[in-house]
């Protein structure tokens, strides 16, 4: 075990899972969260364990996604065993309807040996009887799951609280970094400085602002997304479906999430009536029976937008002791297991699970 003391800034799924991975590798971990853990985009997202259109992403995102998809079931089992809280990794499959780039999607799947295939629309209606009419084509990937992200957050928090070498401080906003020459040796908070051998910045949409206190320009910005939630019977929607950029996700207990918007509104995360009506219209188009269902939830969250959605994972050049694990844009929940394992590998000097070069901050942030 390394004798390092590590501070993690940010208590979303990325920060929590980074702490979870590092706890067995280092002497101590302190996690600092400006509000409550997992209350921002980790709570607000849908939890599909796949990018919405995986073939449209770079190989860098794909590599993280595939490792994470394979790992999620065992992560959920481990957390359930440790805490009694089931993150509900629910394998339902996903149908994409009337894609413009269906040929590209199928070619991508063949090239990467992923189980994505074209299916007759009548088969989709047989499998998903509540789906709306008016669609003519579909492709299907049977092994895609969704994770119930609020439960994932709860189980990670419970697992960390049970670890004697982990401390979680909520309502503890980090305002800047403590430096000794070129080395970052801690962070500043209203309650005082917290010192460490290594600092991991995993503050989601706020990461760019925090790195800016060091005179560095990290291209991570808040991107608002709104979702709505319906409650139906537990067997109402057997599979996830996606059309025109909007999706419906079934939870095991019958809750159906429909999302999401993509809005560049700064840090404003106020839910709007305009988005509510737009999401309801999409929901009814996908699943007409939802016209009579009550919207039991409507919220907004802030994604950490980044160029091409490629996260920043690794050491910050010329700032020894400072590490990044941020900028996952729409895919934080999808990419979390691989991203956090990769960061842990790099920080403690173990062989990385995948090639770390595409995610390295070096050359991707401006001074």
Number of neighbours of residue 181 by Cβ within 10 angstroms: 7
pLDDT of the residue at 130: 97
Q: Where are the domains of the chain?
A: 5-46+151-220+308-359, 94-142+221-305
> How far, in Å, CA of 361 to CA of 201, rounded?
12
CA 196 to chain centre: 26
pLDDT of the residue at 1: 67
pLDDT of the residue at 3: 87
CATH of domain 94-142+221-305: 3.30.9.10
pLDDT of the residue at 366: 80
CB–CB of 72/83 below 8 Å? no
> How far, in Å, CA of 78 to CA of 89, rounded?
12
- All residue ranges of the chain with pLDDT < 70 are 1
pLDDT in tens, 169-201: 999 999 999 999 999 999 999 999 999 999 999
pLDDT in tens, 116-153: 999 999 999 999 999 999 999 999 999 999 999 999 99
> How far, in Å, CA of 217 to CA of 278, rounded?
35
The b-or-e profile of 241-275 (16+ CB within 10 A means b, else e) is bbbeebbbbbbeeebbbbbbbebeeeeebebbeeb
pTM of the model: 0.96
pLDDT of the residue at 367: 73
Tokens 């359930």 belong to 80
First to last CA, the chain: 34
Beta bridge partners, 140, equal 95, 117
Q: Which CATH superfamily is domain 5-46+151-220+308-359 in?
A: FAD/NAD(P)-binding domain (3.50.50.60)
5-46+151-220+308-359 and 94-142+221-305: same fold? no
CB–CB of 319/214 below 8 Å? yes
């Amino acid at each position: 075990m390394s004798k390092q003391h590590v501070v993690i800034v940010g208590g979303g799924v990325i920060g929590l899972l980074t702490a979870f991975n590092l706890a067995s590798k280092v002497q101590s971990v302190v996690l600092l969260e400006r509000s409550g853990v997992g209350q921002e985009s980790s709570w607000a997202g849908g939890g599909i364990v796949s990018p919405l259109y995986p073939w449209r992403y770079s190989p860098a995102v794909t590599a993280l996604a595939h490792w994470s998809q394979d790992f999620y079931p065992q992560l959920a089992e481990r957390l359930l065993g440790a805490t009694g809280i089931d993150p509900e990794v629910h394998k339902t499959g996903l149908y994409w309807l009337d894609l413009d780039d269906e040929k590209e999607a199928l070619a991508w799947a063949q090239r990467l040996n992923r189980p994505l295939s074209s299916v007759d629309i009548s088969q989709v209606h047989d499998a998903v009887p509540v789906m709306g009419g008016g669609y003519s084509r579909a492709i299907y990937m049977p092994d895609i799951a969704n994770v119930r992200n609020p439960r994932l957050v709860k189980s990670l928090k419970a697992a960390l609280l049970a670890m004697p070498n982990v401390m979680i401080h909520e309502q503890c906003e980090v305002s800047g970094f403590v430096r000794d020459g070129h080395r970052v040796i801690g962070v500043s908070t209203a309650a005082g400085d917290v010192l460490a051998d290594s600092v991991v910045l995993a503050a989601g949409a706020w990461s760019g602002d925090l790195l800016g206190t060091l005179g560095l320009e990290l291209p991570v910005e808040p991107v608002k997304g709104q979702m709505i939630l319906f409650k139906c019977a537990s067997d109402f929607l057997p599979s996830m479906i996606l059309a025109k950029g909007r999706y419906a996700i079934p939870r095991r207990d019958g809750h159906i999430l429909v999302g999401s918007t993509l809005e560049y509104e700064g840090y404003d995360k106020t839910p709007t009536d305009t988005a509510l009506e737009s999401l309801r219209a999409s929901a009814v188009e996908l699943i007409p029976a939802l016209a009579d269902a009550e919207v039991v939830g409507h919220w907004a969250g802030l994604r950490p937008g980044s160029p091409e959605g490629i996260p920043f994972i690794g050491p910050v050049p010329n700032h020894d002791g400072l590490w990044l694990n941020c900028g996952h844009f729409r895919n934080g929940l999808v990419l979390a297991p691989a991203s956090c394992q990769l960061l842990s590998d790099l920080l403690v000097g173990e062989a990385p699970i995948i090639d770390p070069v595409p995610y390295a901050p070096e050359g991707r942030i401006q001074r």
